[in-house]
Amino acid sequence: MKNINKFSMAFLILLLVTKTIKAQDSNIYRASNAVMLEKNENSQAVNKLTGVVVELSNNIDVLKVRLNIPYHSMSNKPEDSTIFSRGLPFDLAINVNPNQIQEDLTSAKTFITHGLLTLNNITEPVNVEYMPLLAGTELDGGFNLSIIIQFNPGNFGLDEPYNNSLFVIRITDATVNRV
């Protein structure tokens, strides 16, 4: 009888852990796609970015954007470089007012602000524009975001070959994950 109780308890714990993991995967960390545009005086290049995660913390009103920039798009290294196969971590934090977003949700208003970007282990302010887009019904209060982030790679120790370049990351209709 003790073995059956232990087995039942272990099964219940496993079931709860599995449900929690599934809930986190489907409800918290929904990823979106984006593009990164490199503009300089002579040319421009576009790279597709996948796995962009946008999170809004209800407790501290901070919007976070996380992604990995393919290392080959920010260096002269080949795309299949095994050392940097995951890319450069890109972490952006923006202070937002969710109440203001909710008030202007159906107005197609664009908010212009600054965020703190951490890239290449350096944190600097960057220009950010974002527009909330209604997701679901107005009563739900759910929204997605379109975001434009501008940064100079020289500010993050990525000078060569980007001395005269400006990078723009455009995220379109990203799911906002509430945490």
2 phi and psi angles, rounded to 5 deg: -65, -40
Is-contact 169 73, C-beta < 8 A?
Answer: no
For 35, residues 6+ apart whose C-beta sits below 8 A from its C-beta are 46, 47, 48, 49, 169, 170
Q: What is the pLDDT of residues 92-140, one digit of tens each?
A: 999 988 888 877 777 778 999 999 999 989 999 999 999 988 876 555 6
Q: What is the pLDDT of residues 68-85, one digit of tens each?
A: 888 655 654 445 444 445
Domains of the chain: 31-178 (2.40.128.110)
Q: What pTM value is reported for the model?
A: 0.73
